[in-house]
A = this chain, B = another copy of it.
Amino acid sequence: MNYFLTAFCLGLLATGHAVNAQSIEQKMTSMGLVLTAPSKSAGNYVKAVRTGNLMFLAGHISTRADGSTITGKLGKDLTVEQGYEAAKATVVSLLSTLKAELGDLGRIRRVVKVTGFVNSMPDFTDQPKVVNGCSDLLVSLLGDKGKHARSAVGMVALPLNAAVEIELVVEVE
C-alpha cells in the first residue's frame, strides 16, 4: 500500500487527473485485477491508434492474467457465466493498453463504443449476457464515463479459438 500511497501523492502534485487515475487502478487492485504490460501485436498493426480525441483500440482476445488465451465456443464449450468472466478478463487487457497509451487512466473521458465479438454456436443467442462481463466492469471502474454504446454479435470463429474478442472506441484527454 505504501507504493500506491506514494504514487497517489506524487500524482496529486503532478496533475489534477491523478486522483481519478489512482482511483481506477486502486479499484482494480481491490478487485484483484492487475494491469499487465501489453503484449506486442503479432503483425504490422498496433494495439491502439489515436486520432484527435478518439482512441481506437484493436480487438483484444480473452486472456488470463498469465497471458494464456481463454478459449472455447459459447453454446458448446463454455457456459454463459464462463463467457461473462472471459469478457471481464478482456477489459483488463484493454485497460492495460489504455494505460500504456495514456500513462494515466484518468485521461479516459468516455468509453464511446464497445464491440463484443462472441465465439458462438449457431443456436447460442445470449451474446449480451456474455458481453455484460465487459460492460459491468467498465461501469464499475469508470462510473458514468464507462457507459458505452455497444454491439454484441456471434462469430463462427475467433483467433486462437478465443471465447471473445472486444474492441473499443474511447474519448480521451
Interface residues, chain A, CB within 8 Å of chain B?
41-49, 51-54, 56-59, 73, 75, 110-115, 117, 120-128, 131-132, 135-136, 138-139, 146-161, 165, 167, 169, 171
Cα–Cα distance between A42 and B130 once the two chains are bound (Å): 12
Report chain B residues within 8 Å CB of A124. Answer: 157
* A37 CA / B29 CA spacing, docked (Å): 40
Interface contact B151-A44, CB-CB below 8 Å: no
Assess whether A138 is in contact with B44, with CB atoms less than 8 Å apart.
yes
Q: How far is the CB of A100 from chain B (nearest CB, A)?
A: 13
Task: Determine if B159 and A125 form an interchain contact, defined as CB atoms under 8 angstroms apart.
Answer: yes
Query: Does the CB pair A161–B125 fall under 8 Å?
Result: yes
Chain B nearest CB, measured from A15 CB (Å): 22
- With a cutoff of 8 Å between Cβ atoms, the chain B residues found around residue A43 in the complex are 128, 131-132, 135-136, 150
Chain B residues with Cβ under 8 A from A161's Cβ?
125
For A171, what are the chain B residues with a Cβ–Cβ distance below 8 Å? 51
B149 and A45 within 8 A (CB): yes
Contacts A125-B158, A138-B44 given; indicate if A49 touches B151 (C-beta within 8 A): no
Closest B residue by C-beta to A55:
B149
CB distance from A125 to the nearest CB of B (A): 5
